[in-house]
């Protein structure tokens, strides 16, 4: 007898037109009768085919799969599987801007087919096989004559506000998206943006004046303008204006400590080449289907895993490194490498309703292979983390681990110790190996030529300490 | 397009109603969606007019340079196609 494991997706509860559920590890979308008319128009009008052709929407097939809940069900569809779900607060500037471009392109195309995008949440977009795609097939509804675009405010909060803050104030403000699940409040964005942004027509209109209108125009009595008609051409004008606003925002990654890391490292050319060969050989031994590279920088070593077929996430704390990596991935059309932002000492928590709407960093694992190259000294010396805690956390993230031990004599460690009191007397390879042995079996240990560093391949298991 | 321009002229007084934009403190309990909805209605006329002018200007430039309109047989002909949607 087969046991059916099925569950409604934790983040799928807002739209009455349908919801996502999983059954035996496969995701399905149940469309309710209330969404039938819009869905049928979406499919028959040719809009679905056009969006698939343009690579803007996740492909799906209609199935005879029984619904999760038969009440009110119209149909069950099976979307193509997206193997890794990232959150907008983990995206670099260009990733968010590409998603914004996709949202506006979707609305423009939908209007050509008598439809409109009814919501513009950044969470509905994912990086899938090298492209930004919309996951929510039910985001389209038939356009109602003479109505404004219902997703306007959401677009401004989810895309325009964070992009403006990242571009005009500080790129790290993209992480505000983690605090504000429905996008950054426009009044907050308006207060944080510098005065010069008031002289940009599009930012003035869509952000600053929009923010003020939200409080000034909201009242108990209906505003005289509330019932006025909006010509479709005017909606196109607004979308066109938003496109101009997004294109005018830019950010150039340069000069951060990490983005320049490989030009400042103490590796000789031979040492660096050999390290690449050693890591490649260890990856071949694991032959992973999924990999996470922690502290990946611009993804030099992550590529060794993605080139071998593993869906690889290149996590890094530095927005400039992630941005460079993403631009490179995009220009090469790489479908297996996904660069994302992560502060490993304060990783993305579970957030949203009841702590379950958006999965934490660790909840999206475990993966086949975790890579932690030139990272241990930053965790232990840079962040006062004991070896055993590092071992325990890494063991939960993946089944195999490639980790590089960087000894005290290494110039990178000396650089860290130069600016802090040396309380790290226990920082040694012997102590590292002893702590790791509680959670891992060591399969290989290889010194890296021209350095005093050692590469380890380990396999995680139950704690023995 | 003509409709949008005529609508623009008839709604200029409304657009001037943007004087609401004197800064007032935001009340967190007010649903920002309501104000946003009305704001969009008010500024739509302005953006519709600007968009119409942009299209006219593009057509004028195309006329001067002798450029033809893109082939409209690629997909079903639409009444008011959007240039940014074309690839």
The DSSP result for A318-350, as a single string, is: -HHHHHHHHHHHHHHT-SSEEEEE--TTSPPPP
| Joined tokens for residue A71 | 């009440």
Pairing of strands A131-134, A115-117: unpaired
Higher-scoring residue by pLDDT: B80, A181: A181
Q: How far apart are CA A34 and CA A334, in angstroms?
A: 39
Share of chain A above pLDDT 70, in %: 95
What mean pLDDT comes out for the span A106-122? Answer: 95
Are A357 and A210 in contact by the 8 Å Cβ rule? The answer is no
Q: Quick check: helix, strand or coil at residue A401?
A: strand
Provide the pLDDT for residue B30.
53
**Of A18, A64, A8, A25, the residue nearest A42 (C-alpha):** A18
Q: Which of A213, A224, A239, A246 to mutate to test the interface with B (most CBs of B within 10 A)?
A: A213
Residue A136 exposed, middle or buried by CB count within 10 Å (0-12, 13-18, 19+): buried
Q: Express each pLDDT in A175-234 by its tens digit.
A: 999 999 999 999 999 999 999 999 999 999 999 999 999 888 766 666 777 778 888 889
Nearest CB to A105; choose among B23, B37, B85: B85
Inter-chain CB proximity B35 and A218 less than 8 Å:
yes
Q: How far is A95 from chain B (nearest CA, A)?
A: 20
ipTM: 0.78
Nearest CB to A217; choose among B35, B51, B84: B35
Q: Which residue of B has its CA nearest to A105?
A: B85
Q: Which residue of B has its CA nearest to A220?
A: B30
Q: Tell me: pLDDT of A464 over 90.
A: no
Q: Which of A107, A113, A202, A231 to mutate to test the interface with B (most CBs of B within 10 A)?
A: A231
Provide the pLDDT for residue B27.
45
The dihedral through the CA atoms of A329, A20, A106, A203 has a sign that is negative
Q: Express each pLDDT in B27-62 by its tens digit.
A: 444 566 788 888 999 899 899 999 999 989 988 888
Are A47 and A140 in contact by the 8 Å Cβ rule? The answer is yes
Inter-chain CB proximity B35 and A105 less than 8 Å:
no
Inter-chain CB proximity B82 and A108 less than 8 Å:
yes
Q: How far apart are CA A201 and CA A217, in angstroms?
A: 21
Lowest mean pLDDT among A137-141, A253-257, A288-292, A395-399: A253-257
Q: Which residue of B has its CA nearest to A208?
A: B21
Q: How far is A231 from chain B (nearest CA, A)?
A: 7
Q: How far apart are CA A448 and CA A445, in angstroms?
A: 10
Higher-scoring residue by pLDDT: A413, A31: A31
Are A359 and A85 in contact by the 8 Å Cβ rule? The answer is yes
Inter-chain CB proximity B75 and A112 less than 8 Å:
yes
Q: Tell me: pLDDT of B10 over 80.
A: no
Q: Which residue of B has its CA nearest to A149?
A: B40
Nearest CB to B45; choose among A210, A234, A243: A234
Q: Express each pLDDT in A71-107 by its tens digit.
A: 889 999 999 999 999 999 999 999 999 999 999 999 9
Q: Quick check: helix, strand or coil at residue A442?
A: strand
Inter-chain CB proximity A209 and B39 less than 8 Å:
yes
Inter-chain CB proximity B40 and A238 less than 8 Å:
yes
Cα A442 to Cα A295, A322, A369, A370: the distances in Å are 21, 31, 14, 14
Cα A3 to Cα A21, A23, A24, A25: the distances in Å are 16, 10, 8, 12
Count A/B contacts: CB-CB distance under 8 Å. 154
At A17, the pLDDT band (50, 70, 90 cuts) reads confident
Q: How far apart are CA A423 and CA A205, in angstroms?
A: 55
Inter-chain CB proximity A226 and B32 less than 8 Å:
no
Pairing of strands A311-316, A337-341: parallel
B34: CB partners within 8 A, 6+ apart:
A214, A217, A218
| Joined tokens for residue A330 | 């995009």
Inter-chain CB proximity B35 and A231 less than 8 Å:
no
Q: Express each pLDDT in A122-159 by its tens digit.
A: 999 999 988 999 999 999 999 987 889 999 999 999 99
Q: How far apart are CA A238 and CA B36, in angstroms?
A: 13
Q: How far apart are CA A218 and CA B29, in angstroms?
A: 11
Q: What global pTM score does this model have?
A: 0.87
Nearest CB to B38; choose among A105, A223, A236: A223
**Of A298, A285, A289, A268, the residue nearest A373 (C-alpha):** A298
A-chain residues near B80 (CB < 8 A) = 111, 232-233, 236
Provide the pLDDT for residue B8.
46
A-chain residues near B74 (CB < 8 A) = none
Q: How far is B38 from chain A (nearest CA, A)?
A: 6
């Amino acid at each position: 007898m087969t046991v059916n494991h099925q569950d409604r997706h934790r983040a799928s509860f807002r739209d009455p037109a349908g919801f996502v559920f999983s059954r035996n590890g496969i995701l399905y979308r149940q469309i309710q009768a209330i969404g039938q008319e819009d869905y049928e128009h979406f499919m028959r009008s040719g809009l679905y085919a056009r969006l698939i052709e343009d690579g803007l929407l996740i492909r799906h097939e209609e199935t005879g799969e029984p619904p999760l809940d038969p009440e009110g069900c119209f149909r069950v569809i099976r979307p193509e599987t997206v193997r890794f779900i990232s959150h907008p607060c983990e995206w670099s500037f260009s990733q968010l801007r590409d998603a914004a471009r996709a949202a506006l392109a979707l609305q423009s195309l939908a209007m050509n087919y008598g439809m409109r995008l009814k919501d513009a949440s950044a969470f509905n977009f994912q990086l899938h096989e090298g492209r930004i795609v919309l996951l929510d097939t039910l985001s389209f509804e038939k356009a109602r004559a003479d109505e404004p675009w219902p997703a306007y405010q959401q677009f401004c909060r989810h895309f325009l506000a964070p992009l403006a803050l990242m571009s005009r104030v500080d790129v790290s403000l993209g992480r505000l998206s983690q605090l504000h699940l429905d996008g950054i409040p426009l009044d907050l964005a308006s207060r944080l943006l510098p005065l010069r942004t008031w002289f940009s027509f599009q930012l003035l209109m869509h952000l600053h004046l929009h923010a003020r209108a939200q409080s000034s125009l909201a009242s108990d009595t209906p505003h005289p303008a509330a019932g006025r008609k909006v010509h479709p051409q005017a909606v196109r004008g607004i979308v066109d204006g938003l496109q101009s606003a997004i294109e005018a925002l830019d950010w150039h990654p340069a000069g951060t400590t990490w983005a320049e890391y490989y030009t400042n490292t103490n590796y000789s050319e031979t040492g660096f080449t050999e390290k690449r060969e050693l890591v490649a050989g260890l990856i071949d031994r694991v032959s992973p289907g999924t990999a996470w590279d922690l502290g990946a920088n611009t993804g030099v070593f992550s590529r060794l895993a993605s080139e071998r077929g593993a869906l690889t996430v290149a996590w890094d704390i530095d927005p400039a490194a992630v941005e460079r990596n993403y631009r490179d991935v995009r220009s090469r059309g790489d479908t297996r490498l996904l660069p994302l932002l992560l502060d490993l000492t304060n990783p993305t928590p579970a957030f949203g309703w009841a702590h379950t709407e958006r999965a934490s960093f660790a909840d999206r694992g475990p993966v086949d292979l975790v890579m932690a190259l030139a990272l241990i000294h930053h965790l232990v010396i840079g962040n006062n983390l004991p070896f055993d805690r590092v071992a325990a956390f890494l063991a939960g993230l993946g089944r195999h681990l490639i980790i590089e031990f960087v000894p005290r004599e290494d110039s990178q460690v000396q650089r860290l110790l130069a600016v802090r009191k040396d309380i790290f007397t226990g920082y040694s390879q012997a102590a590292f190996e002893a702590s790791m042995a509680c959670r891992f079996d060591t399969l290989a240990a290889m010194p890296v030529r021209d350095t005093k560093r050692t590469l380890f391949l380990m396999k995680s298991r139950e704690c023995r300490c | 397009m003509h409709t949008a321009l005529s609508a623009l002229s008839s709604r200029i007084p409304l657009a001037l109603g943007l004087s609401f934009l004197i800064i007032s403190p935001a009340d967190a309990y007010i649903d920002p969606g309501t104000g946003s909805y009305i704001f969009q209605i008010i500024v739509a006329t302005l953006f519709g007019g600007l968009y119409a002018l942009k299209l006219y200007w593009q057509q004028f430039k195309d006329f001067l340079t002798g450029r033809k309109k893109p082939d409209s047989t690629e997909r079903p002909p639409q009444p008011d196609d959007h240039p940014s949607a074309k690839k």
